[in-house]
Structure 1
Amino acid sequence: MSRYFSKIVVASLMALGLAGSMTEAAGGTIGTYNLTICADYVNYPVWLPPNMTIAMTEAYLTAQGMNATNLALLQTFPSCMSPYLEYVCSSAFPRVVNTTTPGVYDVDFACKSNCETVVQQCSAVMAEAGMSSKVPNCTAAIPSSLITVPPNGVLFQPNGSCNAVTSLSGGSTPGAGTNTGNQTASCGGAASIFTPDTFQGPGGTTTNAEYCTAGCCLKCPVQYSLYREGALETGFKITNYTRAVSMVLSFILMMSYICLPDKRSHPSALILFFAICVFLFSVVVIFPLVNTRAMQCADLINPSTQQNNLKCAIQGAILVFASVSTCAWCSALIINLHLHTVWNSAWFAKKYWLLHMVCWGFAIAVTAVALGLGEIKWEYATLCLISQDKAPAIFFYPMAAMIFPAFLIHIATFFHIARISAQAGSESETMSRSTLSAGAAAMISHRRHVMMAIRIQWRAAVMAICAILSVTFYWLFYFIQLGKISPENMKTPLMGFVKCIVSGTPHDTCADQLAPHLPPYGLMIAAEELVSLIGTIIFIVFFKPALLSEWADWFGSVGYLLRGKRQMKKEQDQFFVI
């Protein structure tokens, strides 16, 4: 999201257009500039073509975009601000220079050096905004002079014989005297989504073009600036707390299947491995809980990647591994349920070596590819994951190759259960087996097996459905909603958002105007909340009341062993007391 937003910031600046024009060359008058736009640049006698006034020229500049709002916007890009206004003002208001002959004067037009400075400082901005045609051609005639000095106009003039203008206040107050309201004097101030560029290169250029331009950078995390103030902080804080609860509950469930003796056999072992994966999936919340921004951002400007933030690399690798392995062991549970229920087979009970190779091995392979390609980075919510560009190929499609076939198998299993249940309800099974044929007896036996299987493994079935629905909902949100922030879709809306912010409009008002072009806030939080609930859901499904008594027996056994030999001998001697 953030990299797309950065390309739009300066597009608003380019909407200002080029300098104004004059009308005729013959004759003309001398005027004194006393208006607003160029008040910080023009303090000399101005040449006015016939039938033109300073007010008319000023009005034309305003119509071309040099208004209070755009002047405020211009101030957020210091490296382009002063050169651009020097170019505009020197072109629109040529300088009158007295000569030694009374009543005769010369007119100095814009300097070629001013034009070249604009090209150097602002051409990258224009290119990013798709407005390269607006870059002035410093070897051609001054655009406005084609009208005022027809037919060929006047070329940009060499230094020493041109209208060289500079800011009277060092470039800090363009449009001095203009009632522009809440203008910002720097990249900070009212427009708090900006910060000064610390990556300046030669000639005022930036070495961080993805997030910086014209002397200003977007603060990290950028996406937080696009919604109402504090909205994403609050929403993602709630989802982090939800994931923390899931971490604790999945840890309890995991330890139950590790420590309790009767939970180590097939198919309970499948649930154990699934619980381990869900715990790893939830435990990554520790990173943003400690310091959310340190997880998201490597510094004030750059978002975290595996290259610039070791914590991001570690957390992202754990999350990728846990996500893929969770889907793998969930698929194993579904297939095991199908084999046991439909085919009365416990094939997986003797093939755990194969399950470990496939489930853990596949998760390790996906994680290794993501790390090897350097694609672990922060782009969304509070956790590092695979970049949005590469996530489908590296992350989502491999998981879909496991989870969707498993879901189809799950549906087939439930159709089989429904069919068997319907047959069991329509036929009486109370007659003696001796009166039945061998085929009928086998059918009845299979029905009883199916009903027993679903009574035993319904928890695994419910868990698999919940996990699949949660992951599917997140995928749908990712593919459908996050596409809204593509550069093509966001270019115009974000241009308006930046102009709204720097003009002094309250942030929430600007965010509301941008909201229709962004993923819905409620849906974004719901998608994150749903996957954060997975640990809680499996705890509710699997932690039955019987586990409490089993834990009580386990603690009683441990306590008995810790009492010491003397107490144990005393209790053993009681068997000999009559």
Structure 2
Amino acid sequence: MSLKGHLLSSVFLLLLTPPASSQATCTPNTYRGVCSDYGILYQTSVPRNASIALEVGFQTSPLAGKLLDLQLLNFQCGSALQAFLCAEKLPRCEANQTQTTPTEERVCKSSCQKVIDVCTPVLESAGVTFALPACDGPTDAAFGRTKPLVDDTVGGTCVKSEEELAAVVNDFPCKYPLVRNPYWPLSRGPDTCNGPCCAPCPAEELLHQPGDFDTQIRVHQIVHLVAFILCLYVVVSYAVLPGRREHPADIVLHFAIAACIWMGVSLWTLPNVRNIQCADDGVSRSNAFNNKLCGLQAAWVLLGVHATVFWGSYMIWNLHFTIVHKSTILERYKPVGLIACWGLPAILTTIAVIMNDIDASTGALCFVASDSAIKYVFGVQGVLIIPTVVANLVTFVHIARIARRASSIHSQDEPYEMDKPGSVSGASSTTISTRRQILQLVKLNWRALLLGAVFLTTYVTYFIFFQILTNAISSIKPSTPEVRGFLACMLTQPPATAHATCATRFASFMPSYAMVVAAYAVAGLVGFWVFLIFGVQRALLRDWRRLIEDVVHGLRRRKTVPVMGATGNTNLREQELGKWVQL
């Protein structure tokens, strides 16, 4: 029988009235219904037809939902109460060694008190109001009891419901969508488990409409995979083409490599992202220790994210020192910058992994846990990004100021130049030279300026989305009323329509579908910006064409022309390289 029937049936039995005498003779009945899951495996004195009628008639009772909610809040409390109610309404009817005639044995008073002991701290800590059974009273109107419980402290034969429950609890059935807890009863298991049952991993999939979670993952995979390919093109271009491995072009190469690592995280999620998100037990979220693949993937993406920020900042600071301060300090100490921009990200990544602050709680990937992201990622990067933003702004203002000043001088010199055609004054010559220098600086460095603007804007947008999503996800705990209501809906609705129906009711507590998709897409924009700013340029295509032509001509020359001497070949190569460097 389904868990719904199990839970409701035990409530229906509350209306039953036990016989007046605890040792009255009875007629054994082998029908036990759903209470068999709570330990009622003995023969009872309740007629079969009466039990069935009560189960069918009580399905709409508000008390049924309250009992289900209590069991979803805490299985130990809920199951102990269910077992007590079953034993109280289904007295044992069996013969014993001293009596051949079956007699009735009702539930013990001590079992009632154990329910109070188990449930009271649970209800108090959760702030839930629930009327527990009255153990001392002769009757209990809330639960339909009309006779006093058997006081086993002064003698008497009775049924201990907690002992009956202990005999069967390890085999308690889990209804869809719940799955078996592999750690029960030795331990509680992850926070997505309650007693012998757990939500399957990834648990967030249940909270979305059917198929939505997989669609969001696909968006993340596709966007990052395309961004990875585009970044890879920039990396290969700057690594292969002549003249692009020298300062300051080598900064672009390292920046593109870092972004390529970041975007390449999509390769880790193929073909099945659940290999990253879930541990081998099928119910636990992955972390760096229960899933080595999760730890490696998180280290990969953390290294890429940190290195991208460090190299992007390095590029902006190099531009700032070159234009504003006319200094080549970063070029002179390039080895130090190389070590810092790769070494510090590696150190920060190692610290996060060693501190076991890696898990799959932030969405499609393993990343720093949401409660530690500020400490290990965004806080550290913010210390670098904020002054970098200021430096980029100062650089832009400096260029604009010099350009405006040069334009003003040029406009003042124009009448003099018109009076004396063919002559150029010293001031005009200086002005023209200054304007040309400014234009040349802007022409050479506008890509870095643009990168600073779009990269920082994208990064801030991603941070905002990350905070919104992680705050929403972290607030969804299995013990919250909203999640308990969702699970109760899943357990009481027909399995064929339960997911769609219950996810619709829960939608107001979840981030919108569009927001999740936008958050995944924004993170991948970094790779697109790298390609659009540094990969889409005529000079790059021209260099590729010349390189290909050089390779093709070289192959043909080897087939048709005798090999040149060492000196001639070297001179020819230097001439070609000189042309490419000029371009």
TM-score (norm 1): 0.75
Within the alignment, does 1:462 sit opposite 2:450 as a pair?
A: yes
**Offset of residue 463 of structure 1:** 2.1
Identify if the C-alpha distance between structure 1 residues 455 and 541 changes in structure 2 by more than 3 Å, giving closer, same or farther: same
Aligned position for 1:409: 391
Matches within 5 A, 1:160-309: 161-162=157-158, 186-188=173-175, 191-192=176-177, 194-202=178-186, 206-299=187-280, 300-309=282-291
Identify if the C-alpha distance between structure 1 residues 81 and 153 changes in structure 2 by more than 3 Å, giving closer, same or farther: closer
Matches within 5 A, 1:19-38: none
Query: Does the residue aligned with 1:569 lie in a helix, a strand or coil?
Result: coil
How many pairs does the alignment contain? 524
Within the alignment, does 1:351 sit opposite 2:333 as a pair?
A: yes
Within the alignment, does 1:318 sit opposite 2:300 as a pair?
A: yes
> 1: CA distance between counterparts of 2:554 and 2:192?
63
> 2: CA distance between counterparts of 1:125 and 1:61?
26
Identify if the C-alpha distance between structure 1 residues 127 and 552 changes in structure 2 by more than 3 Å, giving closer, same or farther: farther
Please tell me whether the aligned partners of residues 294 and 366 of structure 2 are also in contact (alpha carbons under 8 angstroms): yes
Identify if the C-alpha distance between structure 1 residues 91 and 444 changes in structure 2 by more than 3 Å, giving closer, same or farther: farther
Within the alignment, does 1:141 sit opposite 2:136 as a pair?
A: yes
> 2: CA distance between counterparts of 1:558 and 1:257?
17
Identify if the C-alpha distance between structure 1 residues 386 and 71 changes in structure 2 by more than 3 Å, giving closer, same or farther: closer
> 2: CA distance between counterparts of 1:409 and 1:496?
52
Identify if the C-alpha distance between structure 1 residues 410 and 156 changes in structure 2 by more than 3 Å, giving closer, same or farther: farther
> 1: CA distance between counterparts of 2:324 and 2:436?
12
Task: Select the residue among 532, 543, 557 that pairs with 1:540.
Answer: 532
Deviates more, 1:123-132 or 1:322-331: 123-132
**Offset of residue 141 of structure 1:** 2.4
Aligned-residue sequence identity (percent) comes to 25
Identify if the C-alpha distance between structure 1 residues 304 and 123 changes in structure 2 by more than 3 Å, giving closer, same or farther: farther
Aligned position for 1:103: none
> 1: CA distance between counterparts of 2:341 and 2:143?
77
**Offset of residue 111 of structure 1:** 1.8
Query: Does the residue aligned with 1:379 lie in a helix, a strand or coil?
Result: coil
Cα deviation, 1:182-215, whole Å, max 9, x if unaligned, reads: xxx9424xx32x211111235xxx3415232221
Aligned position for 1:65: 63
Deviates more, 1:373-382 or 1:89-98: 89-98
> 2: CA distance between counterparts of 1:125 and 1:148?
20
Identify if the C-alpha distance between structure 1 residues 341 and 125 changes in structure 2 by more than 3 Å, giving closer, same or farther: same
**Offset of residue 370 of structure 1:** 0.7
Task: Select the residue among 128, 131, 152 that pairs with 1:157.
Answer: 152
The residue type equivalent to 1:236 in the other structure is I
Question: Which stretches in structure 1 are left out of the alignment for 5+ residues?
Answer: 1-12, 47-54, 99-105, 173-184
Aligned position for 2:369: 387
Identify if the C-alpha distance between structure 1 residues 146 and 195 changes in structure 2 by more than 3 Å, giving closer, same or farther: closer
| Greater relative contact order (Cα < 8 A, sep 6+) | 1
> 2: CA distance between counterparts of 1:209 and 1:412?
51
TM-score (norm 2): 0.74
Query: Does the residue aligned with 1:262 lie in a helix, a strand or coil?
Result: coil
> 2: CA distance between counterparts of 1:130 and 1:498?
19
Identify if the C-alpha distance between structure 1 residues 479 and 236 changes in structure 2 by more than 3 Å, giving closer, same or farther: same
Query: Does the residue aligned with 1:506 lie in a helix, a strand or coil?
Result: helix
Cα deviation, 1:446-488, whole Å, max 9, x if unaligned, reads: 5543332122211222222222122111111222342133448
The residue type equivalent to 2:466 in the other structure is Y
Task: Select the residue among 474, 477, 498 that pairs with 2:465.
Answer: 477
The residue type equivalent to 1:329 in the other structure is W
> 2: CA distance between counterparts of 1:477 and 1:485?
12
> 1: CA distance between counterparts of 2:287 and 2:121?
26
Question: Which stretches in structure 2 are left out of the alignment for 5+ residues?
Answer: 1-6, 48-52, 96-102, 418-422, 569-583
Aligned position for 2:506: 514
Please tell me whether the aligned partners of residues 181 and 197 of structure 2 are also in contact (alpha carbons under 8 angstroms): yes
Deviates more, 1:495-504 or 1:483-492: 483-492
> 2: CA distance between counterparts of 1:373 and 1:255?
35
More helix, by proportion: 2
> 1: CA distance between counterparts of 2:12 and 2:548?
81
The residue type equivalent to 1:233 in the other structure is D
**Offset of residue 366 of structure 1:** 0.6
Please tell me whether the aligned partners of residues 67 and 78 of structure 2 are also in contact (alpha carbons under 8 angstroms): no
